[in-house]
Structure 1
Amino acid sequence: MSTIRLHRTTTLTPEQYIAGLTDFGPGRAKLFGNSADEYLKVHHKGRSHADVTEGSSGIWERLTYDWSDPHRVVLTTTDSNVWGGASGHTYSFTRRPDGTTDIDAAVVREGKDFKGWILGLVLKTIGKRVLKRAFEKSVDAIEIGTPL
């Protein structure tokens, strides 16, 4: 199992980042490169929860999104072609006195088969840079108001 921890301080409020994170409209890949339109399927979306399948490059996962806590968003993997077990993402938000927000993200990857195990091993080594770039790109895109 791999756990990758990411951090970014941003001018966004938690509400602004959560709004971008939970916008499942077409063009989502502009904000989140690992969520290509051809994989995106919203099974259900409520006021603070969603059931969504997304992915890219042959890897997909079905996630339950929970943003009922304004300080935290939890994405739990419920099905995937490579991820299982405790896989998912957690975003935590801390408002700073200067008006900025700290975003801490934890990405947990537990392979459910040989391919997932290998991908998890890659994430432990060189994959953190890729995930960090993708995370920072999403924060930057939301900061500048990239439309979906």
Structure 2
Amino acid sequence: MRTSFEFDLRTTATPDQIVEVLTDFSANRPKRWPALSAGLFHVYSVGDTEAVVQEGQNLPKIYATWHYDWSVPGTVSMTVTDSPYLETGSYHSVTAIAAPGGGSDVHGVWTNTAKNNSAKVGLLMMRVIGRRFFTRYYQRVFDQLTESGA
């Protein structure tokens, strides 16, 4: 079962701040991204414009090894390379461009294909609430970058 959607938002964060928070693979990552499970977060490699990490959530339990690529300025793409829950090639991307008057206009793409029943439950939920959930979630994480001075 495949679920796909796109979302758009405007944030007070700059494109550079957005790329930074999306590519911060330090031990602080689960604190910056509250939906991530610290216990499922593992960094395998980090380079200048790419990383390989395992990330996931506890409810419903879904995790994957993701290849992150930020070689295109303002864009971070995440592609599943291995997972018991999601098909290889499932992906997310976030692109941020400077907004008139400051901040950023952000466009996101979310496409995942489930491998098993646990993932199907999660993807069914995302068919109903995904666009709204991710718009609000990213908005909150990105806006906090300027509120906290991060």
Tell me the TM-score normalized by structure 2: 0.86
- Do the aligned residues in 2 keep the contact of 1:62 with 1:78 (CA within 8 Å)? yes
- 2:12 is aligned to 11
Q: CA deviation at 1:56?
A: 1.9
Q: Deviations for 1:70-103, whole angstroms, at most 9, x for unmatched residues?
A: 1311100111231114412101122233233101
- Do the aligned residues in 1 keep the contact of 2:62 with 2:119 (CA within 8 Å)? no
Q: What percent of counterpart residues are identical?
A: 27
Which residue, 141, 145, 148 being the options, matches 1:142? 145
CA distance in 2, matches of 1:86, 1:26: 26
The 3 A distance-change label for structure 1 pair 44 and 105 is same
The 3 A distance-change label for structure 1 pair 145 and 74 is same
Tell me the TM-score normalized by structure 1: 0.87
Q: Deviations for 1:34-64, whole angstroms, at most 9, x for unmatched residues?
A: 3222111110000110000011202211100
- 1:55 is aligned to 56
- 2:69 is aligned to 66
Paired amino acid for 2:21: G
**Cα-Cα RMSD:** 1.9
Which residue, 88, 98, 101 being the options, matches 2:101? 98
Gaps of 5+ in 2: none
Q: Deviations for 1:85-141, whole angstroms, at most 9, x for unmatched residues?
A: 441210112223323310111111211123323322221013443333322221122
CA distance in 2, matches of 1:101, 1:131: 16
- 1:122 is aligned to 125
Q: How many residues in Structure 1 have an aligned counterpart in Structure 2?
A: 147
- Do the aligned residues in 2 keep the contact of 1:64 with 1:76 (CA within 8 Å)? yes
CA distance in 2, matches of 1:132, 1:11: 14
The 3 A distance-change label for structure 1 pair 85 and 117 is farther
- 1:131 is aligned to 134
